[in-house]
Structure 1
Amino acid sequence: MIIDTHLHLIYRDRLSYPWLKDVSALDADFSWETYAREAKRLGISSVLHMEVDVAPEDILGETAMVQELSQAPDSLIQGVIASCRPEDPGFADYLDGQLANPFVKGFRRVLHVVPDDVSEGALFRENVKLLSGTGLTFDLCMLPRQIDKAKALVDLAPDVTFILDHCGVPDIKGHGYETWKAGITDIAKRDNVRVKISGIPAYGDLETWTLEDLKPYFDHTIGAFGFDRAIWGSDWPVCTLGGGLSTWVATTQALLHGCTREEKDRLFSGNARGIWNLA
């Protein structure tokens, strides 16, 4: 069975997504029902919802909406990685409120779409350190050229578990392997970092990518982190741009050819259970 640690849901009638206007292929509704129909056929048994960079005033509303969806009798949703703004003075109060809700498993602030210096601010860094001792994770969604900024955050809070999204967002289409490879090797030396095997078809040529295009990136990521520190995510609906959920599950299975059953189980479910105490 598979735990999907990176599901996005988009409900434009309930929440505001400012970035959608610039991504026409995703400027649509992507509902739980649509995802679940396919996911259950693929053996996905549990899901974490990943924040979708909603407008700041909708951050709490997004968590509430997903928690509402999780209460349906047949729902697979076990928690959320909530949006946050560590650069804002109100972060500490926001964190206190989320600590009271066990449905919140961690946080993410998308950093590859904001100025590089956002994560370098003193307030941002002090607020990330507030996660120490909470058991909540922090997802890093950053470009290869930003890897030094990611390492700086990781080193500030050695007892916080950081999740590096999408294998570090490699430029597969642009053949950016060498620059990306060095950064992955370096950040993997930090014991408090986990890596998410997710999203990489979207960084290849959306129309023509092949298994062989992705394989060097998968192999090096696993080689650097090992199966004990890797988790799986669908990145749905972004994965629909490069083939869809079924294609990504099948691709992952093909990339795992020759791996042991224990290694596959750790990637697909075991590690996620341990990080977020999931069923």
Structure 2
Amino acid sequence: MPEFPIVDTHVHLTNLNRIRYTNLQDEAPTLHKSVGLATFQNHAQSIDIDSFLFMEIVCDFDNRSDEAQWATELAREDPRLKGIIACALMENGSEVTVELEAYKQNPLIKGVRRLLQTEAIDFCVQPSFLKGLRCLPAFDYSFDICVYHQHLSHVVEMVRACPNVHFILDHIGKPKIKDQLFEPWKADIRSLAELSNVHCKISGMVTEADHDTWNRDDLRPYFDHVIECFSFDRVIFGGDWFISTLATTYAEWVATVDWAVSGCSTSELKKLYCDNARDFYGLNSPDNKDLQSSTL
């Protein structure tokens, strides 16, 4: 395990009493349940977590500001919750600025995500979507990219079209690890890494493998390729909890990542586990004690 506190940039929590998750109910009914802060704290208790980010989890679009507000309330319960990645409808083009301006009133919101994996592969390069993305730098927001591997060639096009936007690829682009698929994923990752405005999140890999029979060797070539392409300067750790519970425990995922990077320098490990996350998401401020009145 890491010999220093880590930053987890990808924690999902749900509250069915306040927020609707129709997509989750339809696509992954076993995950359609309330999963709160106490459950996460229990599952992650063996890991020294310095801070973590709340990641939106595809709630119904008309609930997206409610989700961000609930996450803000959770930060008052656990000061380690240092940031929120909220849902924003980038396809609204320049009109998304109304939503971003509202989010900007909440200093906990560090970036946005619009789930793309369930959309057409060219959804992310539609003119209105690109126009929305180009609004992000004015708000100092990054964009988390969540796609399946078949979307990646268009993701490269999207990132190239928005050179001033800071992107991060979630779950290494979701290659089909269960089938040991490498191409065209490997080539697309290489092309994406050539663009300096994108990082890669080492997360969500076990759920792309066989949930019941995966082993670390199944993941090794994917770890190696991502780190080779992005280097330790542009990779960031993510737990993807509680989605990850489909295939592993929180501690086992951290141990698996630690195994994959064994032998690397302390400096490299700190980049992966904490330093890059703090820089990319701006986690060094604000202090959560100043957030008691944050609302949306």
Report the TM range for the smaller structure's normalisation.
over 0.9
Q: Which runs of 4+ in 1 moved over 3 A?
A: none
Whichever residue aligns with residue 232 of structure 2, its letter is F
How far the C-alpha of 1:256 sits from its partner, in A, is 1.2
Q: Are 1:20 and 2:13 matched, yes or no? A: no
Of 224-233 and 136-145, more deviation after overlay is shown by 136-145
User: What TM-score do you get using the length of structure 2 for normalisation?
Assistant: 0.91
The question of whether the paired residues in 1 share the 8 Å contact of 2:144 and 2:168 is answered with: yes
Corresponding residue of 2:281:
276
How far the C-alpha of 1:84 sits from its partner, in A, is 1.1
Percent identity, please: 35
How far the C-alpha of 1:9 sits from its partner, in A, is 0.3
Q: Are 1:32 and 2:37 matched, yes or no? A: yes
Instruction: Note the alpha carbon deviations across 1:181-235, whole angstroms, 9 max, x for none.
Output: 1111110000000000000000000000000000100010000000010100000
Measure the CA separation in 2 of the matches of 1:163 and 1:70.
23
Q: Are 1:98 and 2:103 matched, yes or no? A: yes
How far the C-alpha of 1:146 sits from its partner, in A, is 1.3
Corresponding residue of 2:209:
204
Q: In the superposition, relative to structure 1, how do residues 43 and 69 fare at CA in structure 2: closer, same or farther (>3 Å)?
A: same
Q: Are 1:181 and 2:186 matched, yes or no? A: yes
- Pick the aligned partner of 2:57 from 43, 47, 52: 52
Q: Are 1:116 and 2:148 matched, yes or no? A: no
Corresponding residue of 2:291:
none
Corresponding residue of 1:171:
176
Measure the CA separation in 2 of the matches of 1:100 and 1:40.
32
Structure 2 runs not aligned, ≥5 long: 285-296
User: What TM-score do you get using the length of structure 1 for normalisation?
Assistant: 0.96
Of 195-204 and 141-150, more deviation after overlay is shown by 141-150
Superposition pairs of residues 190-269 of structure 1, within 5 angstroms: 190-269=195-274
- Pick the aligned partner of 1:3 from 7, 26, 44: 7
Q: Are 1:78 and 2:82 matched, yes or no? A: yes
Corresponding residue of 1:88:
92
Whichever residue aligns with residue 247 of structure 1, its letter is E
Measure the CA separation in 1 of the matches of 2:195 and 2:173.
14
Corresponding residue of 2:142:
137
Measure the CA separation in 1 of the matches of 2:187 and 2:11.
28
Aligned residues: 278
Structure 1 runs not aligned, ≥5 long: none
Where 1:227 maps in the other structure, the secondary structure is: coil
Measure the CA separation in 2 of the matches of 1:87 and 1:116.
14
Instruction: Note the alpha carbon deviations across 1:231-261, whole angstroms, 9 max, x for none.
Output: 0000001110111211101111111111111
Measure the CA separation in 2 of the matches of 1:276 and 1:116.
27
